[in-house]
Amino acid sequence: MSCKKTAKRACKTTVKTKAAKASAVKYPTRHEELIKWVNDFAKLTQAKNVHWCDGTKKEYNAICESMVESGAFVKLNPKKRPGCYLARSHWSDVARVENRTYISTEKREDAGPTNNWVAPDELKKTMTDLYKGCMKGRTLYVIPFSMGPIGSPISKIGVELTDSPYVVVNMIIMTRVGTKVLKQLGKDGEFIKCLHSVGAPLKPGQKDVPWPCAPLEKKYISHFPETSEIWSFGSGYGGNALLGKKCLALRIASSLARKEGWLAEHMLILKLTSPENKVHYITAAFPSACGKTNLAMMEPRLPGWKVETIGDDIAWMKIGADGRLYAINPESGFFGVAPGTSMDSNPNAMRTITKNTIFTNCALTDDGDIWWEGMGVPAPAHAIDWQGKDWTPDTVDKDGKKVKAAHPNARFTAPAAQCPVIADEWEDPNGVPVSAFLFGGRRPTVIPLVNQAKDWTHAVFMGSAAGSETTAANLAEVGVVRRDPMAMLPFFGYNAGDYMLHWLTMPLRTDVNKLPKVFFTNWFRKDEKGFMWNGFGDNIRVLKWVCERIEGKGKAVETPIGFLPTPDAIDMTGYVDPQRSAAEMKKTMKDLLSVDVEGWKKEIEAVAESYKPFGNRMPYALKAKLAEIKAALEK
């Protein structure tokens, strides 16, 4: 970024690389290890400038404006979306790339069978070669960030070095960035080193493209949990590039959590208040694009109930002095899936993204607003699609298939503080006490609407057995069921068998009586009429039963797979499915809340199959639980 008038303040902390060598250079920190690490990387990558981010609004605005000038951002109509921008990615760089994501440990077994693995020496050599000269013609941004409220005993500090201004502004929304973090770090505080480059150096005079990135075979999203480092190359997109999110807050943090005795999970955190003013905090682990954001901000369709948001994607949970689990949201923003988000499905998300939001791969309307499929408003007669092409509702591709205006994994990045139902305590440094965990996934058949675990081992089994239909959040086949234990499959920072053992040992570290009650939910069952359950605001009916169970009430029947609600246990007052009469819905509820014995036998086989690659690293207790359920189903 050049020192334009708009960017004057930001440039105060921008130093020419050559000048950086001179002792006269002022750094916004006295942390020598940090300064040396930054300068070494600037030298390796041959960055044109080094810019230390201060995290101010002024800096954020200056970088956004410079991206508008360079063509990387479109400024949206300030009357319709004040403070909002649209970015369009390269067509090939639209989601996480799991086949280019590595957990690099000295021993292959420590990464486990679910992760790609290359030894650290080899991977670092390959990537050092890629990093050589990769920032020519670009600015290296230094982003000091805190995951979790600054200074909270649960938080962790990271520093990301990147040549992507898109990453900087997204990180400013998603994490706590800037001088205040450096202050907290002091002269010798610990931080997690995160390297990132889009991998597209510029020759002198070469014009930049709106979304620079490297081809797939050069992309690497690498994690070194033994030294708590992240090295990312070649992609500018979400979870590949905003290194605080999946890379730090899940992969590196899960490995730290195991060492330090806590939990880093792919879970939303919500606050539920009953009509009697009883409060319960609930966390829920669903795979990417399965409705975590929707549940976290739900508008309940039962009178008197209130849902407030603490987090929509990641929960870090530590054990309090009272033996309970306390959760914080390590993030400060939402990186949500746009398509399907509407005033119907998630009104609070729609209200959150009315201002100060970055949209990625959404369609641009002629009046300077954004649009996506499933927004709940009619398609515009004309728009510019996510690839920057003219689009109308009739646009088809060369095979005659309708072209989508927004990419199915198009995203919004919005400050959490803007959410109208953000809970007052969302930034409490001590976290909130958790009463229940939900696991879930997108399962069109077999899995009931809700099912409660009988004990902690059963709870861990339930999590280990989770599976879901794949979605567009990952660059792979969409719509096939894959096992996604604890919704962590793409995010385990170590051997998933060891992770299960870590979970199984939680009762040894907590007050067992205060451990969260655990449930498996499935909003996605289908029959010939389509979805059998409305989902969204009607999910409060399931949460109400969950609360009753937490409080030792709530009618349930014990079955081989867990405690299922009796058919009348779910409050259906005012429930309307336009496709089903009340009598039909009664039958549907019966189907949703019964055990499909034949289906479950197959399910158990599939889970057993998923344990096999782990050999003895999969805890015996889970195999025993599986055998117990299998035997009970045979009876």
479 or 574: CB nearest ligand SAT:
479
Q: Which of 377, 254, 267, 386 is nearest to 328 (CA)?
A: 267
Binding mask 86-105 toward ligand SAT (x if CB under 6 A, else -) reads: ----------x---------
Q: Which of 69, 247, 260 is nearest to 174 (CA)?
A: 247
Neighbours of 21 (CB within 10 A): 13
Q: Residues with Cβ < 8 Å from 179, sequence gap 6 or more?
A: 28, 54, 55, 144
- Tell me: does residue 541 bind ligand SAT (CB under 6 A): no
Q: Least separation, in Å, of the C-beta of 148 and ligand SAT?
A: 17
Residue from 124, 156, 246, 318 in contact with ligand SAT (CB under 6 A): 246
Q: Which of 98, 136, 49 is nearest to 237 (CA)?
A: 98
176 or 245: CB nearest ligand SAT:
245
335 or 499: CB nearest ligand SAT:
335
Residue from 63, 94, 350, 473 in contact with ligand SAT (CB under 6 A): 473
Distance CA 62, CA 53 (A): 12
Neighbours of 400 (CB within 10 A): 6
Distance CA 176, CA 365 (A): 32
Q: Least separation, in Å, of the C-beta of 491 and Mn ion?
A: 8
- Tell me: does residue 238 bind ligand SAT (CB under 6 A): yes
Q: Using CB distances below 5 to 8 A depending on partner kind, what does residue 138 bind out of Mn ion, ligand SAT, none?
A: none
Contact 329, 281 (CB under 8 A): no
Distance CA 222, CA 116 (A): 9
Distance CA 428, CA 415 (A): 17
238 or 431: CB nearest ligand SAT:
238
Q: Least separation, in Å, of the C-beta of 131 and ligand SAT?
A: 22
Q: Using CB distances below 5 to 8 A depending on partner kind, what does residue 265 bind out of Mn ion, ligand SAT, none?
A: none
Pairing of strands 139-147, 156-162: antiparallel
User: 3-class DSSP state for residue 102?
Assistant: strand
290 or 327: CB nearest ligand SAT:
290
Contact 335, 352 (CB under 8 A): no
CA torsion sign, 223 to 118 to 238 to 242?
A: positive
292 or 443: CB nearest Mn ion:
292
Widest CA span in the chain: 80
Q: Which of 242, 268, 252 is nearest to 416 (CA)?
A: 268
**Which spans of this chain sit near Mn ion (rule: CB under 5 A)?**
288, 313
Active-site residue, 194 included? no
Give me the residue whose beta carbon is nearest to ligand SAT.
239
Catalytic residue among 290, 362, 419, 547: 290
- Tell me: does residue 239 bind ligand SAT (CB under 6 A): yes
Q: Least separation, in Å, of the C-beta of 349 and ligand SAT?
A: 15
- Tell me: does residue 253 bind ligand SAT (CB under 6 A): no
Q: Least separation, in Å, of the C-beta of 490 and ligand SAT?
A: 8
Distance CA 408, CA 430 (A): 37
Q: Using CB distances below 5 to 8 A depending on partner kind, what does residue 124 bind out of ligand SAT, Mn ion, none?
A: none
Q: Least separation, in Å, of the C-beta of 336 and ligand SAT?
A: 9
- Tell me: does residue 219 bind ligand SAT (CB under 6 A): no
Stretch that binds ligand SAT, among 223-231, 239-247, 457-465, 556-564 (CB under 6 A): 239-247
Q: Using CB distances below 5 to 8 A depending on partner kind, what does residue 238 bind out of Mn ion, ligand SAT, none?
A: ligand SAT
100 or 324: CB nearest ligand SAT:
100
Query: Which amino acid, 478?
Result: V
Distance CA 258, CA 488 (A): 14
**Structure tokens that stand for 201 in this block:** 């150096």
Tell me which residues are annotated as active site. 290
Q: Which residues bind ligand SAT (CB under 6 A)?
A: 96, 238-239, 245-246, 288, 335, 473
